């Protein structure tokens, strides 16, 4: 069983700005101790200290010296996005006691009302039409007018919570954050990935190999038109765009966009290129906001457009498109998608194209390197493939941590391989498979790797059965 404690008494690290979409870390039975803190009670201490002073840090940060026993579980899922939530439900329905830990008050990650990215990816594909049923329980069918940065209700926060709360084997711990795991880890050497605020966010690492300017969770923008003029103050602290182009602004200025709701705050507002999405996420978020306010300042006060419009909503949490990729027994590549490589352990269908974002040269001029906020994406025949492509189970568990599963954007893929797997419905189907595999591992007293080596036929048979 996995022991779990709320708060911790080993070491501490100051948390980053909350961000979405990294992926889920999923620990199977015999898991190491996992320490979690309550996000609501935590407050930043004046200094970060180690050793004997660590206890003073805990008291200053609102944490007890001794952790509270949170119970024992066969599976601990860290991260309540679509992937982690689906994994918890799948495992619980296959008989496992599960702890689902989420550092926000809602589930869904990028697909929640806090970030408002619409989940993409095709579910319930042949030859395993039941894979994706849990995802379809969590994510409503896309209606007319649904999409990115719309009204919060369409992202169905309560629907996701209701599905999880109906599962008696799931202990849901919202506003809790994992701050330490007693285990070794391995991170892919070829880069970290990015984030978005709708507006959007990016990532950094190796400038050659990392996915640049991934749809960093754009600062989702809503705009409302009123019957009277709505002034907007000048923003000298924002990015100065008065003499610069940005998406949907006429080169000469003074020309309104054809569709204001779609043209501003959409996926192509994305910053953070060449910046680390983990250690610099607050900078990336702030740059997103400064770009958004700079653009609106320019449109209202320089170009004299949209006198009756006002800003309605912007995501204050960055939704990541990429972060660390952990290494499994198989590293999926873009070449595998292009060549249609068949895998004996193909377990989740991929349908999104090889979608990689980099800064758009048309909008880079005048911005320091790393401060670009407008991406372009890979397109053309060389970035397509015949789908769906069933990706291998071996990408869903760690090669060097014996009881660690992964689901989401943290799975074992290379730079190009992330493009097709990273959309939320696809990530959710990874979670469904992980939940089934965890049940098999528990039943047979084996590891995630052991499921592949000795029980693959049984996993494939489970995939052919209904997920409800």
Q: Is 409 left (phi over 0), alpha (psi -120 to 50) or beta?
A: alpha
In a domain, 389, yes or no: no
Residue 380 resides in a domain: no
Q: Is 359 contained in some domain?
A: no
User: Could you say which of 297, 320, 343 is where a domain stops?
Assistant: 320
Return the pLDDT at 69. Answer: 76
Strands 170-174, 98-102: pairing is parallel
Q: How is 72-139 classified by DSSP, letter by letter?
A: EESEEEE--BHHHHHHHHHHHHTT--EEEEESSSSSBGGGSTTT-PPP----S-TT-TTTTHHHHHHS
Tell me if 367 is assigned to some domain.
no
Is 387 a member of any domain?
Answer: no
Q: What is the pLDDT of residue 195?
A: 52
Are 313 and 329 in the same domain? no
204 part of a folded domain: yes
DSSP 298: I
**DSSP structural state of residue 436:** H
Q: H/E element holding 294?
A: helix 281-297
Measure the N-to-C terminal CA separation of the chain; round to a whole number of Å: 25
**Encoded tokens for 199:** 């507006």
Q: Are residues 429 and 313 in the same domain?
A: no
Are 80 and 175 contained in the same domain? yes
Q: Which stretch of DSSP H or E encloses residue 456?
A: helix 456-463
Q: What is the DSSP string of 157-218?
A: HHHHHHHHHT-TTEEEEETEEEEEESS-----TT----EEEES-B---SSTTTS-TT---EE
**Pairing of β 195-198 and β 68-73:** unpaired
Indicate the residue among 263, 298, 320 that finishes a domain: 320
CATH number for the domain that contains residue 332: 3.50.50
Question: Tell me, what's the pLDDT at 433?
Answer: 98
Residue with tokens 């911005």: 367
Is there a single domain that holds both residue 181 and residue 266?
Answer: no
- Comparing CA positions, the residue from 203, 221, 189 lying closest to residue 375 is 203
How many domains are contained in the chain?
Answer: 2
Pair (333, 435) in one structural domain: yes
Contact 172, 165 (CB under 8 A): yes
240: Cα separation from own chain's centroid: 30
> Is 220 in the same domain as 84?
no
Q: Are 159 and 140 in contact (CB under 8 A)?
A: yes
pLDDT for residue 255? 62
- Say whether both 254 and 172 belong to one domain: no
Residue 404 DSSP symbol: E
Q: What burial letters (b/e) apply to 86-108, b meaning 16+ CB within 10 Å?
A: bbbbbbbbbebbbbbbbbbebbb
Same domain for 72 and 111, yes or no, is: yes
pTM given for the model: 0.83
Sign of torsion, CA 369 374 378 379? negative
Domain that holds residue 212: 195-320
Any domain includes 368:
no
Which pLDDT score, from 0 to 100, does residue 212 have?
38
Whether residue 151 is found in the same domain as residue 31: yes
Q: Residue 376 falls within a domain, yes or no?
A: no
Cβ distance 354 to 378 under 8 Å? yes
Same domain assignment for residues 58 and 167: yes
Task: Note whether 28 and 69 are same-domain residues.
Answer: yes
Report the pLDDT value the prediction gives residue 320, as an integer from 0 to 100. 80
Q: Name residue 406's beta-bridge partners.
A: 25
Q: How far is CA 21 from CA 63, 112, 149, 243, 272, in A?
A: 27, 11, 16, 34, 15
**Mean pLDDT of successive 10-residue stretches along the chain, which has 468 residues:** 43 28 58 50 42 44 66 93 97 97 95 94 98 98 88 93 98 87 44 43 29 40 63 94 85 60 71 77 89 91 86 81 86 97 98 89 86 86 94 96 93 93 97 98 97 98 93
Under DSSP, the state recorded for 413 is: B
By residue count, the chain amounts to 468
- The three-class DSSP label of residue 7 is strand
| Cα–Cα distance, 60 to 46 (Å, whole number) | 8
Q: Which residues contact 123 (CB under 8 A, 6 or more apart)?
A: 131, 132, 133, 135, 136, 349, 425, 428, 429
Asked which of 320, 342, 368 is the last residue of a domain, the reply is 320
Contact 57, 48 (CB under 8 A): yes
Shared domain check, 109 and 40: yes
């Amino acid at each position: 069983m996995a022991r779990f404690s709320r708060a911790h008494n080993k070491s501490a690290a100051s948390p980053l700005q909350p961000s979405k979409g990294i992926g889920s870390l999923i620990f199977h039975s015999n898991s190491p101790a996992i320490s979690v803190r309550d996000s609501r009670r935590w407050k930043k201490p004046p200094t970060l200290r180690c050793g004997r002073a660590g206890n003073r840090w805990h008291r200053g940060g609102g944490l007890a010296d001794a952790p509270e026993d949170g119970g024992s579980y066969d599976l601990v899922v860290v991260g309540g996005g679509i992937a982690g939530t689906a994994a918890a439900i799948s495992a619980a329905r296959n008989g496992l006691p599960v702890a689902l830990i989420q550092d926000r008050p809602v589930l869904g990650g990028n697909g929640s009302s806090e970030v408002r990215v619409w989940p993409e990816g095709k579910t319930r594909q042949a030859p395993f039409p039941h894979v994706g049923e849990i995802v379809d329980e969590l994510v409503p069918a896309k209606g007319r007018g649904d999409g990115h940065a719309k009204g919060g209700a369409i992202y169905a926060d309560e629907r996701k919570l209701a599905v999880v709360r109906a599962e008696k084997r799931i202990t849901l711990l919202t506003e809790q954050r994992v701050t330490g795991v007693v285990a070794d880890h391995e991170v892919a050497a070829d880069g970290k990935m990015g984030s978005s605020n709708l507006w959007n966010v990016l990532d950094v690492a190796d400038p050659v190999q990392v996915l640049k300017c991934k749809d960093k969770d754009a600062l989702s923008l809503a705009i409302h038109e009123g019957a009277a003029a709505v002034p907007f103050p000048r923003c000298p602290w924002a990015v100065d765009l008065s003499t610069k182009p940005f998406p949907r602004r006429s080169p000469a200025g003074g020309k309104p966009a054809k569709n204001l709701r779609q043209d501003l705050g959409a996926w192509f507002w994305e910053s953070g290129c060449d910046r680390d999405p983990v250690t610099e996420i607050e900078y990336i978020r702030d740059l997103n906001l400064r770009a958004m306010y700079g653009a609106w300042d320019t449109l209202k006060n320089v170009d004299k457009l949209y006198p009756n419009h006002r800003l309605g909503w912007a995501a204050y949490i960055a939704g990541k498109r990429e972060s660390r990729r952990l290494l499994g027994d198989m590293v999926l590549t873009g070449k595998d998608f292009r060549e249609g490589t068949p895998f004996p352990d193909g377990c989740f269908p991929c349908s999104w194209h090889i979608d990689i974002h980099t800064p758009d040269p048309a909008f880079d001029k005048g911005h320091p390197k790393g401060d670009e906020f407008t991406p372009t994406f890979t397109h053309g025949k060389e970035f397509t493939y015949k789908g769906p492509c069933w990706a291998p189970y071996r990408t869903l568990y760690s090669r060097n941590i014996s009881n660690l599963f992964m689901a989401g954007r943290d799975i074992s893929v290379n730079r190009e391989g992330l493009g097709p797997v990273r959309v939320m419905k696809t990530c959710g189907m990874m979670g469904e498979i992980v939940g089934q595999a965890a049940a098999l591992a528990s039943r047979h007293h084996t590891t995630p790797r052991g499921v592949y080596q000795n029980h693959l036929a049984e996993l494939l048979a489970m995939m052919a059965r209904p997920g409800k």
